[in-house]
Structure 1
Amino acid sequence: MTKVVNVQRVQKKFGKFQALTDVSFSVDAGEVVGFIGPNGAGKSTTIRILLGIINRQAGEAQIFGKDVWKDSLEIHKRISYVPGDVALWGSLTGGEIIDLFMKLHGGGDKQKRDELIRRFELDPKKKAKSYSKGNRQKVGLIAALAVHSDLYIFDEPTSGLDPLMEAVFQDEVEQLKQAGKAILLSSHILSEVERLADKVVIIRQGKVVETGTLNELRHLTRSTITLETSDELTDLANITGVHDFQQQDARTAVFSADNQCINDILVAATKLGVKKFESVPPTLEDLFMRHYEG
């Protein structure tokens, strides 16, 4: 795979405050990378460095093999960016702003623009000052998606959108991925990241605490087990690897289990006569909360 974004041991300070410490990750062509963490974790600072808005103190940050600070103008010709709160010119209409953004980028696909306006249900003739936050986001998304780019950076892109419009955005990202585009998606909607991302980067207090595919990360937390047996199963609560054991009746229980212990649990359950054994793998939200619940 071709590395489109390559960030290695990037550091950034604001005065005495260490905003980023040795942040490293990459985004390949045809890959969606979910970049998650709460407010203040360092997501937007990292994205501003990638966009060449602020400079790093240490480390390397490259897009298309070029330095994000020195070669920012050249890089910007091939990227699309949507922030979490799109600021617009109030006296212009949504359609005029979309066309202006497309022209500034260097053209774009007018047929695609019209299709996106229809799909996102935007009235392009209204003045931007009359738009809600959701409609402002739509303008930014349409402008970004209507031009030809090799890298798309989305920072909380669906903030203010209703679930139907979120689904439209997710469908568009799937199409970009199929076309071999690279996508960095920072989002607080974990289900959105879980659906779209090939790889997840979790950042906490300016440090990357986990990175990998969802399947690679799922070993870090526990599966939820629903078990029904022929005989009484109270003793299963004492098996190594069983946690939060909740018995619904004498022969039915729901509990969480360490993945490496599931075989031992299943062997013990088999002796009681298994009637139902349902295992649900951990979600991205489980992984996320593992790092932030404390």
Structure 2
Amino acid sequence: MGEVVRERPWHGPGPGAEAGEYSQFGQENGNDLMSAVVRTSGLGKSYGRFRGISDVTMEIERGEVFGFLGPNGAGKTTTIRLLLDLLRPTAGQATIFGLDVHRDGVAVRSRIGYLPGELPDVGRERARNLLEFFAQVHGGVPHQRITDLAERVGLDLDRKVRGLSKGNRQKVGLVQAFMYAPELLILDEPTSGLDPLVQQTFLAMVREAREAGQTVFMSSHVLDEVQQVADRVGIIKDGRLVTVEPVAQLLHHTPRRVHIRFDGPVPTAAFTGLAGVRELSVEGSVVRCVVDGPLDELVRTAARFTVVDLLSTEPDLEEMFLRHYSEESDHAADPAT
């Protein structure tokens, strides 16, 4: 049978002299400024015959937004729980701020704002009382800070948490994570249950956190939101890290779907064999295709004719994500590999 692990309850960052003031990050340890905020090496978690994660190695730099992508069950939450020492690894190690996440767990967590994938049952407390309790445990948060964040996300602080909808409970979690202005925000599926307007508010909060020097580690299977705010993206599949790349680089490699309409019929031969062009379809005056990489050669060829309209869909992480998964599946299915 697999290992049974009981998670310790999370009550927000605990008190600690090592936590920085609201607008100062990494001042207490000069060496921190020169190192990765999060570093894992060969990190693994086995649940017996059930899959966990294996050999996850990555670094997250100070002041960046790192998107951690994967479908449900890929290993995102397991990785986060290992970083927070809510689970213990069966292989490898993890450090945050240069500190071992287990040995120095209290000091590490005092500098982190954490939003779990599912806010635990917190009894019959009103949202205001619960957040004020978390603030006291942390060592104090200005009351106005809580009020301002609640107003921003549309949270009624006088309602009892137990009676809130999934979306409103998520707002409580967001206020709890952001109100400390921590050095590192670890957010597990942060927009789950939020309406589109609040999702955009959340993304604005992430951008502001980065501008203030905070680091954000954000897991999600909603690819569009990560694309909007992340500097780099890690893709995890079946417990293994498939790739870690800057968003701009990933998007550069992502296929674009191109639709060109001319003022009259064009020859198919003119567009056949162009570099990066595939799924070519020429129907009279309309050319449709998928282009991997730069559009230069296709555009130069199209310029030989009179172009009436040209539409190129912006690359997004959805197609990139599917491409990585299909390539991995094809690789695994090929006996020669």
Regarding TM over 0.5, the answer is yes
Distance 1:109 1:195 in 2: 30
1:68-99 residue CA offsets vs partner (Å, 9 max, x unmatched): 12111110100010012112323111111111
Closer, same or farther in 2 for the Cα pair 1:43/1:234, shift >3 Å? Answer: farther
Residue of structure 2 equivalent to 1:243: 278
- Which stretch of structure 1 is more off in the superposition, 249-258 or 106-115? 249-258
Distance 2:137 2:217 in 1: 22
Given that 1:98 and 1:140 are in contact with CA atoms closer than 8 Å, whether structure 2 keeps it comes out as no
Residue of structure 1 equivalent to 2:287: 253
**RMSD between superposed Cα atoms in Å:** 1.9
- SS of 1:44's partner is helix
Residue of structure 1 equivalent to 2:322: 289
- SS of 1:259's partner is coil
- Kindly tell me the number of residue pairs found equivalent between the two proteins: 292
- 1:60 CA displacement: 2.6
Closer, same or farther in 2 for the Cα pair 1:29/1:160, shift >3 Å? Answer: same
- SS of 1:3's partner is coil
Given that 1:237 and 1:243 are in contact with CA atoms closer than 8 Å, whether structure 2 keeps it comes out as no
Q: Which of the residues 283, 288, 299 maps onto 1:266?
A: 299
- Which stretch of structure 1 is more off in the superposition, 87-96 or 214-223? 214-223
Which one-letter code corresponds to 1:269 in the other structure? Answer: A
Identity of aligned residues (%): 37
Q: Which of the residues 127, 131, 143 maps onto 2:176?
A: 143
Given that 1:112 and 1:146 are in contact with CA atoms closer than 8 Å, whether structure 2 keeps it comes out as yes
- 1:176 CA displacement: 0.6
- 1:109 CA displacement: 2.8
Distance 2:56 2:253 in 1: 21
1:166-217 residue CA offsets vs partner (Å, 9 max, x unmatched): 1111111111110000000011221110111011001101111121112211
Which one-letter code corresponds to 2:152 in the other structure? Answer: R
Which one-letter code corresponds to 2:278 in the other structure? Answer: H
* Superposition pairs of residues 1-294 of structure 1, within 5 angstroms: 2-235=35-268, 236=270, 238-240=272-274, 241-247=276-282, 250-259=284-293, 262-292=295-325
Given that 2:272 and 2:280 are in contact with CA atoms closer than 8 Å, whether structure 1 keeps it comes out as no
Which one-letter code corresponds to 2:111 in the other structure? Answer: R
Higher percent of residues as strand: 1
Which one-letter code corresponds to 2:67 in the other structure? Answer: G
- SS of 2:242's partner is strand
- SS of 1:24's partner is strand
Distance 1:102 1:246 in 2: 60
Given that 1:78 and 1:148 are in contact with CA atoms closer than 8 Å, whether structure 2 keeps it comes out as no
Given that 1:141 and 1:157 are in contact with CA atoms closer than 8 Å, whether structure 2 keeps it comes out as yes
Given that 2:42 and 2:57 are in contact with CA atoms closer than 8 Å, whether structure 1 keeps it comes out as yes
1:131-172 residue CA offsets vs partner (Å, 9 max, x unmatched): 111111111111111113100000011111111111111111
- Which stretch of structure 1 is more off in the superposition, 211-220 or 79-88? 211-220
Gaps of 5+ in 2: 1-33, 330-337
- Which stretch of structure 1 is more off in the superposition, 62-71 or 15-24? 15-24
Distance 1:121 1:271 in 2: 55
TM-score by length of 2: 0.81
TM-score by length of 1: 0.92
Which one-letter code corresponds to 1:255 in the other structure? Answer: C
- SS of 2:37's partner is strand
- 1:275 CA displacement: 4.2
1:27-83 residue CA offsets vs partner (Å, 9 max, x unmatched): 222110000100111101100100001121222311000011211111010001001
- 1:265 CA displacement: 2.4
Distance 2:271 2:312 in 1: 16
